[in-house]
Amino acid sequence: MGARVGLESVTQSFANGDGGRVALVDVSLDIAAGEFVSIVGPSGCGKSTLLDLIAGHTRPTAGRVALEDADVRGPGPDRIMVFQEHALFPWLSVADNVAFGLRNSGRSDADATVAMWLAKVGLTDAAAMHPHQLSGGMRQRAALARAFAMRPEVLLMDEPFSALDAPSRDRLHVELQELWRETGTTIVFVTHNVREAVALGDRVVVMSSGPGRIMGEVRVKLPRPRVVESERVVALAQEARRLLDAADQLGITAPRTAEDSHVSI
């Protein structure tokens, strides 16, 4: 089952040559256990930084990041990241890639778990193949199987489908929604594609850059599985796009509150 994630007034600065760069300013976000939240925003608005904070790879400069009621103090197997580049080990077979984390954590049921997850993502016949022998879509499927096999409470996805061709991406959108429904994992899905964000999320959090902050959110109450071509997805994506445009026009001035810009259907 998924865990609740909370960010409370999080500010994140990075030291650099000329004093420091603020990546995120005053970001507050509550994600319910088992919720699927999409985060959309332009390049550099702090989306990956936000995932790193939840993953525990980065500690906030100010504010608090919590999993259930405990502060996040570092990485753990309860939070797993999936990247745009699949990050599979090239020297291991698909099955061994999926097994890797399980065996490391001493799971005696590793073989059965691997077989089950390979079947769920349609890679049973590719079990003995190596990553370079797979298509981009198959590699991301293997990465998904590896992540879900660890039974994380929170799955952190950083533009995982951005490098795929449209048909592969469409198929993975449907499959991911199905896996999410089956597992109840909390998913935080980062993308710069507004339609993808709407198709996947229960809620789309819209961020702006300079520095990164939350501009507002769009709640998506459409039946699943959804696809990016759906008319209602496209219409809601326009709402989210308006928030992004408002951010552009505001430049770096004060954001509207989440309530001001909340859109619901």
Ligand X SMILES: Nc1ncnc2c1ncn2[C@@H]1O[C@H](COP(=O)(O)OP(=O)(O)O)[C@@H](O)[C@H]1O
Residues near ligand X, by CB under 6 A: 14, 16, 21, 23, 41, 43-49, 212
Q: Cβ atoms within 10 A of the Cβ of 36, count?
A: 24
Provide the minimum distance between the beta carbon of 191 and ligand X in the complex, in angstroms, as a whole number.
Answer: 10
Provide the minimum distance between the beta carbon of 190 and Mg ion in the complex, in angstroms, as a whole number.
Answer: 7
Contact partner at residue 173 from Mg ion, ligand X, none, CB < 5 to 8 Å by partner kind: none
Contact partner at residue 143 from Mg ion, ligand X, none, CB < 5 to 8 Å by partner kind: none
Question: Whose Cβ is closer to Mg ion: residue 48's or residue 93's?
Answer: 48
Which amino acid is residue 20, in one-letter code? G
12, two tokens: 């994140």
Provide the minimum distance between the beta carbon of 260 and Mg ion in the complex, in angstroms, as a whole number.
Answer: 26
Contact partner at residue 97 from ligand X, Mg ion, none, CB < 5 to 8 Å by partner kind: none
Provide the minimum distance between the beta carbon of 43 and ligand X in the complex, in angstroms, as a whole number.
Answer: 4
Question: Whose Cβ is closer to ligand X: residue 118's or residue 207's?
Answer: 207
CA distance 136 to 164: 6
Question: Whose Cβ is closer to ligand X: residue 192's or residue 219's?
Answer: 192
Question: Whose Cβ is closer to ligand X: residue 123's or residue 204's?
Answer: 204
Is the bond preceding residue 211 a cis peptide, omega within 30 degrees? yes
Contact partner at residue 169 from Mg ion, ligand X, none, CB < 5 to 8 Å by partner kind: none
Q: Tell me if 227 sits within 8 A of 44, measured CB to CB.
A: no
Regarding 48 and contact with Mg ion (CB under 5 A), the answer is: yes
CA dihedral 132, 133, 138, 140 (to 10 degrees): -10
Helix (H, G, I), strand (E, B) or coil at 215: strand
Helix (H, G, I), strand (E, B) or coil at 166: helix
Regarding 38 and contact with Mg ion (CB under 5 A), the answer is: no
**Backbone φ and ψ of 79, nearest 5°:** -130, 120
CA distance 211 to 224: 34
Which residues of the chain form contacts with Mg ion (CB under 5 A)?
48
